[in-house]
A and B are shown apart, each in its own frame.
Chain A
């Protein structure tokens, strides 16, 4: 997200890495809470919604390719998924009708909903879904997010029009949650046969809108799908969407974006900044949608693979040396409640341990003294054997909003009192990946969005310390704990929901008590919209808003 500094100081296999780690870019609970109590009268059809995104313009509108959050935001308007989450956050079938799994967990059968047609006229059937999965798993597609989500599929077969059978390499109880992500959304198999460039420019799906045109560097124009059939009836309306279309613009500068909303040039903005939200919520004319993304919380990982954080006591000392709460309170204006969990609050299985994260410089001092960091140099930093207690902290300016960068600066100032030196390096995305590839970091903050608690395996399983072909690895704290691996493996394959919950809780407890990470808050996902726009609030499983029920009051 946000203000990308346009300089690539080093050239890394950036493209692939970019895709891989933009998975890291985030998501939340799904769906609908159309707000009540507005007296705008009965819904009226017509009008074009203007949406202004603060994210970088995607290079491809097909979220199979790469797979980052900006793609998910726009694709949620024209593509739909096999599963989704309802307003209560429960996983429900959408384009799929039902799914069952064999006793050994190795065969999953997916029933496809009949009577659905893509906007190019192709019917949705099991073969179509199979073609989508093949597209995702084809290396030529260069899918990153979707590819990982379907990684356990060994083979697939359409038994009949409505039945798809998947053979798995190992049991995967997160597969249905993966099906709910826009990066695994279902597109017309006919359209997928076009060249990648063509499909990127105008993917064809089953959603309430379709891509009419895309003027690069300007806007994506979506028009209403007149023949839309909602797979499952929702409390809203039936038939086609109210809006004639959506103009999807890109305005990277936060202040400009907000000014455009105030001036009435646009109706919805994303990536709203904390101070702006605080100001806007005082106005009658602008409304706020807070949709925390699912998956991981926003957190700082402590790199345990190298000194000084290879010593657990130093990790613990660091966590007690920084005062996160004071910064969150002053910088986020109450828009971001503090998290004490590796998982987003949108995840039902999130486990919190607030007591581990108290600001306690005295305790930090004791721990550091005991760990041998007892001397101080002329600048007040602690030393051990002549080495300064220094931490390198590469920060991606495109993934950390200004308020978060300020929070890091405040951490830098408070940690100094306990004798830690933090060197913040503000970097553009590709340089930032470079620092991670070369293990040149002690602290790092990387968002990761996924539906369900299986994100824990992505972030903390020792397998995730091995870089993907793109060079990216997600286990940035570099935890390698056989006991944790075992917990995550069992949690990922059990078919007993209670056991799954218990195992994931234990795994979260282990990483929190091992002081491998410092949770900050949910991945922020705030939208501001004009008061005349009604019935906003429905989101997908990854917390991207959908505008099927939305309408513009005169």
Chain B
């Protein structure tokens, strides 16, 4: 069988960074810094939100659930950095406290998606023609349905909630990952190193465990980082539709949804939660590109 996805095979010359795009050695730190700026910013953004997720009390000045109707719809600035919502709750504090559910949902969903994909992709790529055929058709069926629809169907069956959202997003992202992992496994299966191992009489299990999976994992790390941002967006979409954490939990998608009613009156209720989602998604994309480049180097 031929290698049908070349772009992700490690060590493939096609993927080697183009010499011209490398910063020329010795041309000064400024250009190097400029080249690294996106990565630095992305890392800083993610570090900030991870810190917020782990220790929200450290960053948030207010209780995210404390209401103060008299202080509702306060504009950004003054006592409230990013303004307040319709119940007088501090938007900044709610975004900080919302980092945990948002990132956790994103991370857990990506883990589920990747885990499932790893099994399916490996089975398809390494299990022989018939398994490959079977898994391939299942993936095609899943691909035929729009992702969000798949998630909605799952939530309709299982009932809304954080757990369901995680599984729904995980299930929805799995087919894409599975395809890539399959391609990866097939590429490795026909690589000289595996051929050598086969000639040496290693068992299939050993070949899979020692040669194929470890080598397949590096690109998966890239995919996972990229997927994290995507999963955060998806989770926010479902919360926006009211299918995530119940009120009054501070969840970015739910905040975005609550704010849209008051868009004309209090733009900050929608803008800042939206900004948080965009920042995390963009930062994880930048980071995954950097990881990919580093893996290829």
Contact = CB atoms under 8 A, between A and B. Distances in A.
Interface residues of B, number: 28
B70 A5 contact: no
A352 interface: no
Contact of A410 (B87, B156, B243, B265): B87
Main secondary structure of the interface of B (DSSP, over half): loop
Interface in A400-436: 402-403, 405-406, 408-410, 412-414, 423-426
A434 to B, nearest CB: 11
B227 to A, nearest CB: 25
A196 to B, nearest CB: 30
Given A330-B69, A405-B247, A410-B69, A279 B265 contact: yes
B152 interface: yes
Interface string A250-262: 0000110010000
A397 interface: yes
Contacts of B261: 254-255, 273, 275, 402-403
Given A7-B152, A273-B261, A275-B262, A409 B246 contact: no
B66 A413 contact: yes
A148 interface: no
Contacts of B88: 330
Contact of A7 (B70, B73, B243, B248): B243
B273 to A, nearest CB: 15
A405 B86 CA distance: 11
A544 B202 CA distance: 81
Interface string B221-261: 00000000000000000000111001110000000001011
A170 B88 CA distance: 53
A412 B69 contact: no
B72 interface: yes
A413 B260 contact: no
B59 interface: no
Interface string A374-396: 00000000000000000000000
Contacts of A409: 67, 87, 247-248
A156 to B, nearest CB: 46
Contacts of B86: 330-331, 403, 406
Contacts, number: 76
A324 to B, nearest CB: 10
B263 to A, nearest CB: 6
Contacts of A327: 69, 87
B66 A255 contact: no
B65 interface: yes
A424 B264 contact: no
Contacts of B248: 409, 412-413, 424
A9 B160 CA distance: 8
A292 B86 CA distance: 24
Interface string B54-90: 0000000000011101101100000000000011100
A354 to B, nearest CB: 19
Interface string A230-241: 000000000000
B38 interface: no
B72 A426 contact: no
Contact of B159 (A9, A403, A413): A9
Nearest to B259: A402
A475 B57 CA distance: 45
A329 interface: yes
B263 A406 contact: no
A276 interface: yes
Contacts of B109: none
A8 interface: yes
A422 to B, nearest CB: 10
24 contacts: A9-B155, A255-B264, A258-B264, A275-B261, A275-B262, A275-B264, A275-B265, A326-B69, A330-B70, A330-B72, A331-B69, A406-B86, A409-B67, A409-B87, A409-B247, A409-B248, A410-B87, A412-B247, A413-B67, A423-B246, A424-B246, A426-B242, A426-B246, A426-B247
Interface of B: 65-67, 69-70, 72-73, 86-88, 152, 155-156, 159-160, 241-243, 246-248, 258, 260-265
Interface of A: 5, 7-9, 254-255, 258, 273, 275-276, 279, 323, 326-327, 329-331, 397, 402-403, 405-406, 408-410, 412-414, 423-426
Given A410-B69, A426-B242, 16 more contacts: A7-B152, A8-B156, A9-B156, A9-B160, A258-B264, A279-B265, A327-B87, A329-B69, A330-B72, A397-B242, A402-B261, A406-B86, A409-B248, A412-B247, A412-B248, A424-B246
